[in-house]
Structure 1
């Protein structure tokens, strides 16, 4: 088994609670996560054991990613276990306060791959990393809109 990893960080000039609230709005992720829609399929989506289903793709072409929340530590961290046929491994995010300048949001994924797919991962990783960085820029914009709508930062 091989491991493929991606990680990206974005600094957001918003309060930690704002960043956390936007991050755990699972259906709202479609507003900023490139080509992905997410929904809660079991549990409340806010506790270990809750299950999520994501579809990533364009139109009807894509793949399903089934996940189970493993770690739930508001407003600091969430970790999920990817349990699908195609996507396996762990992923998550941390919400880290930055003194006087907002919040750092870090999203990471650690994929478990059959060793035979490692060369394919090495080709795909730059595209996946680019998509993650682009998505996190959209996430930052969504946090700013959310804060403006509520009159806080």
Structure 2
């Protein structure tokens, strides 16, 4: 299983970066042909379950996940969420850590141990490259400033 590591810096303070990165429905909107189905009542906590469903028409696959660590950033301490993947196709885990960064911003560490059932280990470098591209794009999109008028409370946050 390839481990994917992405580090991204943003001007958003840790609490706002955390809120965006743990909005599971927004995750689905960042991955082509994917939507997120929340299976447990909020707020997010250990035990929260959701599924990323990817596909077109009747050709879909599910990536069910469960939150196993939930520690929002607080008082200068980093936040950490760990997801365990329980799928038939995609297995492994993901962690998103939000650390305080310079000038009130944040440094985000996204780690993912990803396996696709049925693929030989010889394809791990290809899976890792595709994962870095996909998750890096999603991470940047989740932290991107909203279009004007969409999130007025975050108007002062410019990445």
Alpha-carbon distance in 2 for matches of 1:89, 1:119: 17
The structure-2 alpha-carbon separation of the partners of 1:152 and 1:59, relative to structure 1 and needing over 3 Å to count, comes to farther
Determine if contact 2:26/2:142 at 8 Å carries over to the other structure: no
1:15 to 2, 13, 16: 13
| 1:59, distance to aligned residue in structure 2 (A) | 5.6
Determine if contact 1:70/1:78 at 8 Å carries over to the other structure: yes
| 1:14, distance to aligned residue in structure 2 (A) | 0.9
Determine if contact 2:13/2:106 at 8 Å carries over to the other structure: yes
1:50 to 39, 48, 69: 48
Structure having the higher strand fraction is 1
The root-mean-square deviation of aligned C-alpha atoms, in Å, is: 2.5
1:130 to 133, 138, 151: 133
Match of 1:64 in 2: 62
Q: Secondary structure at the match of 1:136?
A: helix
Match of 2:76 in 1: none
Q: How many residues get paired?
A: 149
Alpha-carbon distance in 2 for matches of 1:32, 1:116: 25
Structure 2 unpaired stretches of 5+: 74-78
Q: Secondary structure at the match of 1:145?
A: coil
The structure-2 alpha-carbon separation of the partners of 1:17 and 1:152, relative to structure 1 and needing over 3 Å to count, comes to farther
> Which whole-Å deviations, capped at 9, do the CAs of 1:90-149 have from their partners, x for residues lacking one?
1120111112151112222112567962112222321221122222221221xx328962
The structure-2 alpha-carbon separation of the partners of 1:54 and 1:148, relative to structure 1 and needing over 3 Å to count, comes to closer
Alpha-carbon distance in 1 for matches of 2:32, 2:123: 21
Alpha-carbon distance in 1 for matches of 2:107, 2:32: 20
Q: Secondary structure at the match of 2:89?
A: coil
Determine if contact 1:54/1:66 at 8 Å carries over to the other structure: yes
Q: TM-score under structure 2 normalisation?
A: 0.79
Determine if contact 2:50/2:66 at 8 Å carries over to the other structure: yes
Structure having the higher helix fraction is 1
Does 1 or 2 have the higher relative contact order (CA < 8 Å, sep 6+)? 1
